[in-house]
Amino acid sequence: MIKLINIIIIIIIINFIIPYALAVDASPSSEIKSKLEELKKGIASKAAKLKREVAQKLTNKSYVGTVENKTNNSLTVITKNGAKIVTINQDTVSPKTLNLKNYVAALGDIDDTGVLTAKKIILLPTTNSQLKTYLWGQIISISDKLITLKDKDVKNVAVSLNSQSQVKLNDFVILTGTKNGNDIFEAGFIFVIP
């Protein structure tokens, strides 16, 4: 009979107490695992958010224009939207001879202040069609091949004319052409407003 009681007690212990003890031990590890999973998801979402923010701040762009100022580690490029700063570092691929008034394309990343960190600088050919512009105003003085024109902004502009130009003092004219290195507008086409 004692054997029977011992067997019943062992069966009760095996069936009721051991599974309960195992369940108690398993609960904390499952809580820890679920907390770890939540933490992993939180870290992944924060990392994705930071990656998006960095991608917005650094975007591949380019500035195209004329070099106005040059130092060892930066350029000032005059674009159609104004002066832009280009930072040059040891990784920047650029022509060996880069001078003022060169027409360039600076390729790289722009930060949130608008400064471009150049990865590559390309020297572009300058053709008259790229830099051609127009000017209109009144002629206020005439000399051999130069005239002075008061433009729409009431600024005096020196203009070089070709030999076939027929203009008179106080004429209103529309000109197309380019500015040369001496800041003189070289007129290609002249229209006198009647």
Q: Per-residue pLDDT tens for 113-156?
A: 888 888 888 888 766 555 678 788 898 998 877 889 988 788 88
Residues 6 or more apart in contact with residue 44 via CB below 8 angstroms = none
Q: For the chain, which residues make up each domain, given as ranges?
A: 59-125, 129-193
First to last CA, the chain: 134
pLDDT at 178 over 70: yes
Answer whether CATH 2.40.50.140 is correct for domain 129-193.
Answer: yes
The third-level CATH classification (topology) of the domain covering 59-125 is OB fold (Dihydrolipoamide Acetyltransferase, E2P) (2.40.50)
pLDDT tens digits, 182-191 = 788 888 888 8
pLDDT at 93 over 80: no
Its pTM stands at 0.41
Predicted pLDDT at 20: 52
Percent of the chain with pLDDT over 90: 4
Predicted pLDDT at 58: 55
Distance CA 110, CA 87 (A): 10
Predicted pLDDT at 64: 87
More confident residue, 63 or 93: 63
pLDDT tens digits, 19-37 = 555 444 445 577 888 888 8
Mean pLDDT of the chain: 80
Residues 6 or more apart in contact with residue 121 via CB below 8 angstroms = 75, 86, 88, 92, 93, 94, 95, 98, 104, 105, 106, 107
The predicted model gives 76-97 an average pLDDT of 85
Specify the DSSP element, H or E, that contains 56. helix 18-57
Q: How confident is the model at residue 18 (pLDDT cuts 50, 70, 90)?
A: low
The predicted model gives 168-179 an average pLDDT of 85
| CA-based nearest residue to 137, from 187, 175, 177 | 175
Give the length of the chain: 194
Fold match between domain 59-125 and domain 129-193:
yes
Predicted pLDDT at 76: 92
